[in-house]
């Protein structure tokens, strides 16, 4: 009797990859286990999953959001403890941190991938305008000015309508260079730094300057608009997450390159956001726990990592075993791991547990800053006030 | 089966008292006609009998049982509504057949009865039409047909012939009389038509402003009305009422029917001037302005030529004058 | 009514207003449908132009057909919608009749009770409903959806229908009672046919949210066998990548059945249904 | 009907009510009641603890909640006002035009105008975002045609316009609902009354105001209350067009989106069913208040006419 | 002002031809009564005149102008509908006043006219009621009142008095006649009531099955009907038709009105047996089964006692018998 495992996921995008590559690969090795990948729309995923878990009709395998969302599920007993799952040894502590209890004692999801922020640019446009890839802020703005002066291209493709684009591709993208990556993030959690400190306000000040380089009516520009604007060749620079690579490769008719967030001045250490983004856990109520564990172990294996990372360039494996990737743009992104210091997004761990929710507020404020409806200082103060209202860092 | 007792029934709509204590006994198989001026409560009384309207007080007893708690469907009645209340979405045939079908009457029997009713009412060509496609009179006939096919023990007719032409009216009237004899059903019939009332009724009930003025056989009411109201209401044209004082009588009012006055060009009791003459063919109504009696109507059989302005003398038949007291009651 | 009752300027005015509004109503829809036949670059490059040979692209439709069994999804949607509609209309009309026709103690409270459902989004009750379905083994069946939609549609149906049923002439119902019809026959044979236009209205109002609902199919019946069109189309809404061609194609296709249902129901909107009844 | 002491029990009332009441109670009311009662509890260490009205105190006392609540309520009121002022009059107007007897193409118009109502929110959101987008040029080009290009702004992205714009989109989508209801109501007016009006010289607009409108007043009441209920429960359009955070800067946040975030959570925000239930309870009470006012004060005073 | 020409008007509802080519000329200020059996097309013709129904062919000319394209509102008419068609949401007063208000009549004038109309129709106590709170006859009076207050040049009355009691009917009839004189308006009046037709009409139009049978003054129709149909339709009870052959006459049918027969117990032209006697008070209808003439009706003035089964002799007034040919036409 075959066992059928259902995977809950928000990654409808990956349906084809699972169906055509990953599942056949697994099923070939594990006869008797059938796997069904059943994604729901990303906007509904958390709510739907929560309901299904509560009522006991959720799938066996659960795709995990990083940090608190999954931690909450684990605390409720919906996710099984898989600390001892064969294969978990393939991951570094950093990689596992996103799906562990605060004390690090229990792991509940197998890390699958992280994403890296940076900028993708239109190489043809840069060549045509004679622009060198910027490494410092100065060069960055010089490049933008030049593109703007030329007028063929919109300097930068970003909109604030969807809010998260401003926060994730803007603030979290360039921020680590100012707050010094993990160092600043940890200090913030400890309460040693405040969001109103200059290091945290500075990225907002930069964002405020971006306004001039965005397309007309960027206030109403949505995320897909930005993607289209760039891939249709109408914009020169795209503040990106590495996940765009796959899509851009198929859609853009021009050569692309990527550069990490520019540093303040030449010679500064560079920091990148290398964010643990997706994992997979086991539904504690699964009736097929054994088969599911077999599957999870396979997910933790280098085999999976290789297929996954190559099928989805831009989702970088967290496996300790290095994965060989074919895509040049993906290689470019992952190469920054060696040059720069990695960090995760500042708001994800611990700080978004209360009300108001720091992450949500960061979205809103980042957009406000770019729209010019809030000054960087005002934005930072709002965020800090919100955080203060519930977050009492253990001294 | 089919007897009806109405015991002190009152009905008020809010502050308006419409029925002011009606007592009436109808024996099984009787044909009772309700007459009365427009708005006097005839329809309301029918609706109370049918159970469509609650009486404010009083009892309705059908066949010896108080039916206050019996729903209309269980009272074994058929009713022709003054407003017809046809089923607009059903054909004429189904309008008539619905009740029977509900009662589980066999299809053949239903068809038979609809056949009889529709030929009696000359509705055959319209059986598959809907009410909206019928003329006023045709609708009214459907309403009659719907009641008739059910052959219940108690019929309630609310002005069922008002929209029919004279010929059809006579026919239908005869058919109803025949139906009455055949079914031995009790019938309660509201009409404004004197001829209908006189010809159909075993008993006429004269209603006025929510009260019964008089109950009696048709000729009884015609010949011996209990009061001025009944005297004036039964008979058309209306009885002439003359101020008793002016005639030197002790009675407050003297009544004489137009048909009980004779006219003469030369001499008579009351001298008057012709105001207007109405030629109805079979008879003529002459309006006379009399010195002694005021404006009176005289009904003359056949064609009578009277020019307005001419002088005529009218003479009442002394055996057929009525004398009314100050309270309107007839003085014997 | 006669032609003489129509005045030309007024007719022209009416057509002008209606045409203008029709344009406003259809323009966005036309944009969607026109663009569903174009390649992605053309959609965003020139959304206003109709497909040219160069930009004409059925990629959306081929993706939709290729991805999953859309015929089957349509069938599921149709079954769920029609079955729910049937129960909503039947039960709703019955309850509305009881509320509008009879005076009994607690009538208005019952009316209020039956209206509560439109005041709280039923989505909030998801967990409890899902638990109920899990307990009764109805998860991943169309029955579960039909039950939920029936419950969800009832309040509105009762609310609207009871208002319309109050307009049915009492004399007519009374004529039925005198005719010896039972209350049930009066309801089914007299009242229901006479409120046809409002039944059609309620049918349409009930059908749309059912057909377009994403949430309950996702929760109660996400399996391949029970998937509905809307849920199927949702596949193309990705986290970062939305396949607009496919979404537009799938949703354009999904308009058709509802539109047909709408046309069917709106034929019940007929004038003069009660004329000739009373004078 | 006859009110007599010994009236037989009217079973049929029960029979008529039973199916609806049973299904509705089992699948809607009980689950919803179960959810709403969560507002009196709070999750402390994974167990629900009864806290009385504490959640409500927090909702109104804690600025983190109350500011958002009042903001959402204010926006919602505006949302509702626009629907009442724009959607319903247009709906009534269209219905009145459509119901003129012998109007040609009326079935076509009726269907066409109703099409937006049958669309899913995904399409509506997509279409209008595309049209209003400053990037792809639909709206700017159209406005250019009539020389109004200078008036164009990215409406959906500006705090001061976004809510009004979305309300109008929602009006566009839902005009079909009042239109159809009023249309159905207009159809039930007997032809003869209209004919009498024609003979009396009451035609056109005054016929509408003096004859038709009074006769369909109960239906106008219904669409008003349905608009009220629908608007205060609205969620999907804002959610698909502006996201759960109802940007920019919460300017399009209405009770529905506020509730959704609280109840189901969003992004990193973990859903809080207890606070969610408290908000839902407040929404419920607001709507219930409105409905009660309608049912007990307005509806009972509306005269109905039987045809 | 107020003349009306109907030129070859035809009207079909789908396959059913209801008006089969009507030609009629009505001069200004005339009072024309339409009579005809139920369903013959009277209401339809009124509706065509009013502009509520399109004729299939033919023209309606009011005051010399073809009004096919003129909306009812502009035709200067007022109509009393057979079904009343009252505005259910308006009080009696507003039902009557709405048209005037629309026309911009000053409020004082509106009140005055409503006052006159409502006193003429005895509606004063009901002015603030709504139609649903009125009796059938009261509703009908409101419908009349609504038309009357507008004082147009052309009135269309569709059986306006059918639901009124005799007294009220006589009154209202007189009021309408007076109104006619006062306004000098043209009136077209449909009725089934012989008395109304005879007394009100300047000209009676007899319709049958969508065609005009005869047009003429009331007594003209009564005295010289053009054909059997008119002869039978005008006059109540109906004219007796006797098979000419049985009487040894050359004419196909011999007609004699009930009132033109005299009875005698001893001798007479036709020997017959009394079948039934209807006592109407003022007169008596005796149904006789005659050996020679078949079943005939005799109308006798006053009370006449005739026992069923008794033998009576009926004698027609030879000056007042009608002779009809095989085609139904009268033979001169
Ligand atoms: N909509 C319709 N469709 C088909 N036939 C119709 C329609 N309306 C009326 N008729 C028919 O036309 C004929 C004439 O109708 P009309 O109402 O004019 O009669 P009428 O002379 O007024 O009769 P009545 O005295 O009964 O009111 C009738 O036989 C009727 O059945
Ligand atoms: N719902 C009501 N509210 C108030 N008064 C009413 C209502 N229904 C009827 N009436 C009044 O009750 C009285 C009696 O009405 P009913 O219908 O019984 O009269 P009727 O004798 O049938 O008269 P008609 O001969 O005109 O039909 C009338 O004066 C009428 O105005
Ligand atoms: Mg009556
Ligand atoms: Mg008629």
CATH number, position C88 = 1.10.3720.10
Residue among E67, E47, E81 at smallest CA distance from E4: E67
Binary contact (B98, C182; C-beta < 8 A): no
From the CB of E92, is ligand 2 less than 6 Å away? no
From the CB of E125, is ligand 2 less than 6 Å away? no
pLDDT at D2: 38
Is residue C20, in this structure, part of any structural domain at all?
A: yes
From the CB of B40, is ligand 2 less than 6 Å away? yes
Mean pLDDT of chain D: 88
Alpha carbon of E137 to ligand 2 centroid (Å): 9
pLDDT at D1 over 60: no
Domain that holds residue C216: 68-239
Residue identifier of the C-alpha nearest atom 28 of ligand 2: B39
Count of all residues that appear for chain E in the document: 332
- Residues from chain A that touch D156, judged by Cβ atoms under 8 A, are 161, 219-220
Alpha carbon of B133 to ligand 1 centroid (Å): 7
Q: What 8-state DSSP symbol labels residue A91?
A: B
Bridge partner list, D41: D50
Binary contact (D271, A46; C-beta < 8 A): yes
Residue identifier of the C-alpha nearest atom 3 of ligand 2: E133
Per-residue confidence band for C5, with pLDDT thresholds at 50, 70 and 90: low
Query: If residue E10 lies in a helix (H) or strand (E), which one and from where to where?
Result: strand E4-13
Q: Residue ranges per domain, chain E?
A: 4-230, 239-324
Helix (H, G, I), strand (E, B) or coil at D128: helix
Q: Which residues of A touch C (CB under 8 A)?
A: 10-13, 15, 36, 38-44, 47-48, 50-52, 54-57, 223-225, 227-228, 232, 241, 243-244, 246-247, 251
From the CB of E135, is ligand 2 less than 6 Å away? yes
pLDDT at D160 over 80: yes
Alpha carbon of E38 to ligand 4 centroid (Å): 7
Q: Tokens standing for A353?
A: 């547990």
pLDDT at E1: 63
Binary contact (B138, E38; C-beta < 8 A): yes
Binary contact (C239, A13; C-beta < 8 A): yes
Write down the H helix ranges in chain D: 11-24, 30-36, 54-61, 63-82, 88-98, 106-118, 121-132, 138-145, 159-174, 176-187, 191-199, 204-207, 213-232, 236-242, 255-264, 273-292
Q: Which ligand is nearest to the CA of E130?
A: 2
Look at domain D50-301 and name its CATH class: mainly alpha
Per-residue confidence band for B1, with pLDDT thresholds at 50, 70 and 90: low
pLDDT at A174: 92
CB A106 within 8 A of CB A288: no
Fold adopted by E239-324: OB fold (Dihydrolipoamide Acetyltransferase, E2P) (2.40.50)
A and E make contact (3+ CB pairs below 8 Å): no
pLDDT at D101 over 80: no
pLDDT at A353: 86
Question: In chain E, which among 70-129 make CB contacts under 8 A with chain B?
Answer: 82-83
- Contact residues for E287 (Cβ-Cβ < 8 A; gap 6+): E274, E275, E276, E277, E278, E295, E296, E297, E298
Alpha carbon of B177 to ligand 1 centroid (Å): 27
Lowest mean pLDDT among B250-264, C25-39, E149-163: C25-39
pLDDT at D4: 43
pLDDT at A318 over 70: yes
pLDDT at C80 over 50: yes
CB D257 within 8 A of CB D265: no
Alpha carbon of E192 to ligand 4 centroid (Å): 10
CB E21 within 8 A of CB E58: yes
Q: Cα separation of E177 and E183, whole Å?
A: 10
**Mutation for C interface: D86, D97, D176, D184, most C CBs within 10 A:** D184
Q: Cα separation of D28 and C118, whole Å?
A: 10
pLDDT at C34: 84
> Chain E: nearest CA to B40, how far in angstroms?
9
pLDDT at C3 over 70: no
> Chain D: nearest CA to E212, how far in angstroms?
26
Q: Same domain for C138 and C208?
A: yes
Q: Kind of pairing, strands A109-122 and A256-259?
A: antiparallel
Binary contact (D20, C160; C-beta < 8 A): no
Q: Which stretches does DSSP call E strand in chain B?
A: 4-13, 16-26, 31-35, 57-62, 65-66, 77-80, 154-158, 186-190, 203-208, 211-216, 240-243, 253-256, 261-264, 270-279, 283-290, 294-301, 311-316, 321-324
pLDDT at E221: 92
Binary contact (E52, C5; C-beta < 8 A): yes
Q: Same domain for C86 and C190?
A: yes
From the CB of B82, is ligand 2 less than 6 Å away? yes
Q: What percent of chain A has pLDDT over 90?
A: 47
pLDDT at C273 over 80: no
pLDDT at C239 over 80: no
Per-residue pLDDT of B175-200, as tens digits, reads: 999 999 998 999 999 999 888 899 99
Q: Same domain for C51 and C110?
A: no
More confident residue, E188 or D45: E188
Mean pLDDT of chain C: 87
pLDDT at C84: 95
Residue identifier of the C-alpha nearest atom 8 of ligand 2: E133
Q: Same domain for C39 and C154?
A: no
Residue identifier of the C-alpha nearest atom 11 of ligand 2: E134
Q: Same domain for C30 and C123?
A: no
Residue pairs spanning B and C at CB distance below 8 A = 87
> Chain A: nearest CA to D115, how far in angstroms?
25
Alpha carbon of E45 to ligand 1 centroid (Å): 10
Q: Tokens standing for A257?
A: 């390159």
| Closest Cβ opposite residue D64 in set A72, A371, A389 | A389
Q: What 8-state DSSP symbol labels residue B288?
A: E
Q: Average pLDDT in the B134-145 region?
A: 93
**Mutation for C interface: B52, B54, B85, most C CBs within 10 A:** B85
Q: Average pLDDT in the B165-179 region?
A: 89
Binary contact (C2, E54; C-beta < 8 A): yes
- Contact residues for E134 (Cβ-Cβ < 8 A; gap 6+): B39, E92, E126, E142
Is residue C256, in this structure, part of any structural domain at all?
A: no
From the CB of E162, is ligand 2 less than 6 Å away? no
Q: Average pLDDT in the E147-151 region?
A: 91
Residue tagged 């990225």 (tokens): A203
Number of the ligand 1 atom closest to the C-alpha atom of E46: 18
Q: Average pLDDT in the A292-318 region?
A: 90
Distances (CA, A) of D84 to C61, D104, D182, D245: 39, 29, 14, 25
Per-residue pLDDT of C105-115, as tens digits, reads: 888 889 999 99
| Closest Cβ opposite residue D198 in set E52, E90, E150 | E52
Binary contact (D199, E77; C-beta < 8 A): yes
Q: Average pLDDT in the C158-182 region?
A: 91
- Residues from chain C that touch A244, judged by Cβ atoms under 8 A, are 240
Binary contact (E159, B164; C-beta < 8 A): no
pLDDT at D147 over 80: no
Per-residue confidence band for B20, with pLDDT thresholds at 50, 70 and 90: very high
| Closest Cβ opposite residue E68 in set C1, C4, C279 | C4
- What phi and psi, each to the nearest 5 degrees, are found at residue B15? -80, -15
pLDDT at D92 over 70: yes
From the CB of B83, is ligand 2 less than 6 Å away? no
Residue tagged 């006939």 (tokens): B141
Q: What 8-state DSSP symbol labels residue B19?
A: E
Q: Half-sphere exposure of residue D202, counting CA atoms within 13 Å on the CB side?
A: 24
Per-residue confidence band for A78, with pLDDT thresholds at 50, 70 and 90: very high
Q: Half-sphere exposure of residue B48, counting CA atoms within 13 Å on the CB side?
A: 32
From the CB of B210, is ligand 2 less than 6 Å away? no
pLDDT at E40: 92
Q: Which ligand is nearest to the CA of B137?
A: 1
CATH 3.40.50.300 fits B4-230, yes or no: yes
Give me the number of domains chain C comprises: 2
């Amino acid at each position: 009797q075959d066992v059928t495992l259902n995977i809950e996921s928000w990654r409808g995008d990956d349906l084809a990859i699972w169906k055509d590559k990953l599942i056949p690969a697994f099923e070939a090795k594990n006869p008797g286990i059938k796997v069904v990948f059943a994604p729901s729309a990303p906007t509904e995923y958390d709510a739907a999953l929560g309901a299904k878990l509560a009522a006991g009709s959720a799938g066996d395998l659960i795709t995990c959001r990083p940090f608190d969302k999954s931690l909450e599920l684990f605390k409720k007993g919906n996710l099984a403890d898989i600390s001892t799952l064969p294969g978990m040894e393939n991951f570094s502590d950093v990689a596992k941190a996103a799906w562990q209890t605060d004390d690090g004692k229990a792991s509940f999801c197998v890390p699958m991938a992280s994403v890296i922020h940076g900028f993708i640019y239109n190489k043809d446009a840069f060549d045509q305008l004679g622009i060198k890839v910027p490494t410092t802020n100065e060069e960055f703005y010089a490049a933008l000015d030049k593109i703007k002066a030329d007028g063929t291209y919109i300097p930068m493709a970003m909109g604030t309508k969807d809010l998260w684009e401003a926060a994730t591709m803007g603030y979290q993208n360039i921020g680590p260079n100012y707050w010094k990556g993990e160092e600043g993030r940890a200090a913030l959690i400890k309460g040693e730094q405040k969001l109103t400190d200059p290091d945290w306000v500075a990225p907002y000040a930069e964002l405020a300057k971006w306004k001039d380089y965005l397309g007309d009516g960027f206030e109403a520009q949505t995320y897909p608009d930005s993607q289209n604007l760039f891939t249709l060749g109408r914009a020169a620079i795209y503040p990106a997450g590495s996940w765009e690579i796959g899509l851009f490769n198929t859609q853009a008719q021009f050569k692309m390159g990527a550069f990490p967030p520019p540093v303040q001045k030449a010679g500064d250490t560079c920091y990148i956001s290398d964010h643990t983004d997706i994992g997979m856990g086991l539904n504690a109520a699964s009736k097929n726990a054994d088969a599911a564990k077999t599957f999870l172990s396979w997910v933790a294996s280098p085999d999976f990592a290789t297929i996954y990372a190559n099928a989805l360039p831009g989702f970088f494996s967290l496996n300790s075993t290095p994965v060989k990737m074919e895509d040049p743009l993906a290689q470019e992104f992952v190469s920054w791991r060696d040059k720069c210091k990695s960090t995760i997004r500042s708001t994800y761990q611990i700080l978004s547990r209360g009300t108001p929710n720091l992450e949500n507020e960061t979205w809103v404020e980042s957009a406000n800053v770019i729209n010019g409806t809030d000054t960087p200082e005002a934005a930072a103060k709002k965020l800090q006030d919100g955080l203060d209202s519930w977050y009492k860092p253990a001294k | 089966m089919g007897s009806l007792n109405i015991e002190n029934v009152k009905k008020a709509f809010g502050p308006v008292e419409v029925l002011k204590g009606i007592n009436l006994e109808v024996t099984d198989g009787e044909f009772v006609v309700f007459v009365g001026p427009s708005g006097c409560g005839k329809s309301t009384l029918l609706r109370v009998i049918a159970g469509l309207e609650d009486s404010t007080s009083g009892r309705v007893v059908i066949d010896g049982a108080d039916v206050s708690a019996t729903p209309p469907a269980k009272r074994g009645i058929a009713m022709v509504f003054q407003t017809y209340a046809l089923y607009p979405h059903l054909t004429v045939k189904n309008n008539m057949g619905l009740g029977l079908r509900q009662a589980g009457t066999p299809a053949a029997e239903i068809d038979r009865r609809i056949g009889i009713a529709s030929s009696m009412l000359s509705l055959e060509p319209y059986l598959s039409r809907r009410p909206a496609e019928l003329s006023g009179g045709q609708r009214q006939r459907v309403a009659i047909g719907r009641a008739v096919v059910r052959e219940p023990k108690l019929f309630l007719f609310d002005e069922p012939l008002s929209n029919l032409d004279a010929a059809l009216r006579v026919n239908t009237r005869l058919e109803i009389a025949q139906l009455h004899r055949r079914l031995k059903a009790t019938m309660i019939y509201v009409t404004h038509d004197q001829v209908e009332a006189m010809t159909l009724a075993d008993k006429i009930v004269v209603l006025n402003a929510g009260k019964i003025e008089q109950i009696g056989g048709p000729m009884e009411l015609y010949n011996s009305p209990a009061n001025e109201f009944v005297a004036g209401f039964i008979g058309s044209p209306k009885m002439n009422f003359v101020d008793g004082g002016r005639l030197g009588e002790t009675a407050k009012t003297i009544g004489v029917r137009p048909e009980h006055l004779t006219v003469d060009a030369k001499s008579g009791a009351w001298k008057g001037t012709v105001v207007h003459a109405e030629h109805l063919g079979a008879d003529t109504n002459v309006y006379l302005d009399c010195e002694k009696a005021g404006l009176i109507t005289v009904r003359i059989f056949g064609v009578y030529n009277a020019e307005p302005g001419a002088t005529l003398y009218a003479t009442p038949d002394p055996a057929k004058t009525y004398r009314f007291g100050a309270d309107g009651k007839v003085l014997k | 009514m006669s032609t003489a009752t129509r005045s030309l300027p007024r007719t022209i005015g009416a057509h002008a207003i209606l045409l203008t509004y029709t344009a406003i109503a259809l323009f966005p829809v036309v944009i969607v449908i026109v663009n569903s036949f174009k390649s992605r670059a053309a959609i965003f490059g020139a959304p206003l132009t109709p497909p040219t040979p160069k930009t004409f692209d059925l990629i959306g439709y081929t993706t939709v057909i290729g991805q999953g069994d859309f015929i089957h999804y349509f069938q599921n949607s149709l079954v769920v919608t029609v079955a729910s509609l049937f129960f909503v209309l039947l039960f709703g009309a019955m309850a509305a009749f009881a509320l509008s026709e009879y005076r009994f103690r607690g009538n208005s409270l019952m009316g209020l009770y039956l209206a509560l459902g439109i005041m709280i989004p039923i989505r909030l009750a998801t967990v409890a409903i899902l638990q109920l379905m899990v307990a009764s083994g109805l998860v991943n069946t169309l029955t579960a959806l039909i039950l939920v939609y029936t419950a969800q549609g009832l309040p509105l149906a009762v609310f609207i229908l009871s208002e319309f049923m109050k307009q049915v002439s009492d004399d007519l119902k009374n004529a039925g009672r005198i005719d010896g019809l039972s209350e049930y026959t009066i309801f089914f044979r007299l009242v229901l046919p006479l409120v046809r236009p409002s039944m059609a209205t309620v049918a349409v109002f009930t059908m749309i949210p059912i057909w377009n609902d994403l949430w309950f199919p996702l929760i109660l019946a996400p399996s391949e066998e029970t998937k509905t069109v809307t849920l199927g189309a949702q596949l193309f809404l990705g986290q970062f990548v939305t396949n607009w061609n496919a979404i537009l194609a799938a949703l354009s296709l999904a308009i058709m059945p509802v539109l047909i249902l709408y046309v069917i129901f709106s034929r019940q909107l007929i004038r003069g249904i009660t004329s000739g009844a009373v004078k | 009907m006859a009110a007599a002491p010994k009236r037989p029990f009217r079973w049929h009332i029960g029979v008529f009510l039973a199916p609806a009441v049973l299904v509705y109670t089992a699948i809607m009311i009980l689950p919803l009641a179960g959810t709403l009662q969560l507002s009196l509890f709070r999750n402390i260490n994974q167990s629900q603890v009864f806290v009385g009205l504490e959640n409500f105190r927090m909702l109104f006392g804690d600025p983190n909640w109350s500011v958002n609540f009042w903001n959402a309520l204010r926006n919602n009121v505006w949302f509702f006002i626009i629907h009442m002022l724009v959607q319903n009059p247009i709906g009534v107007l269209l219905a009145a035009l459509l119901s003129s007897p012998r109007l040609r193409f009326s079935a076509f118009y009726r269907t066409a105008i109703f099409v937006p109502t049958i669309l899913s929110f995904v399409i509506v959101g997509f279409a209008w975002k595309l049209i209003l987008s400053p990037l792809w040029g639909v709206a700017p080009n159209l406005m250019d045609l009539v020389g109004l290009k200078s008036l164009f702004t990215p409406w959906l992205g500006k705090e001061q316009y976004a809510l009004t714009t979305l309300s109008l989109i929602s009006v566009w989508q839902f005009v079909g609902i009042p239109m159809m209801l009023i249309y159905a109501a207009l159809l039930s007016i007997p032809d003869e009354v209209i004919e009498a009006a024609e003979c009396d010289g009451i035609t056109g607009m005054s016929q509408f105001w003096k004859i038709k409108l009074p006769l369909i007043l109960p239906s106008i009441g219904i669409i008003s209350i349905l608009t009220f209920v629908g608007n205060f429960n609205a969620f999907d359009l804002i959610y698909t067009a502006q996201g759960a955070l109802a940007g920019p800067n919460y300017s399009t946040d209405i009770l529905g989106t506020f509730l959704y975030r609280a109840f189901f959570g969003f992004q990193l925000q973990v859903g809080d069913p207890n606070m969610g239930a408290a908000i839902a309870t407040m929404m419920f009470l607001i709507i219930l208040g409105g409905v009660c006012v309608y049912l007990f004060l307005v509806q009972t005073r509306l005269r109905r006419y039987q045809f």
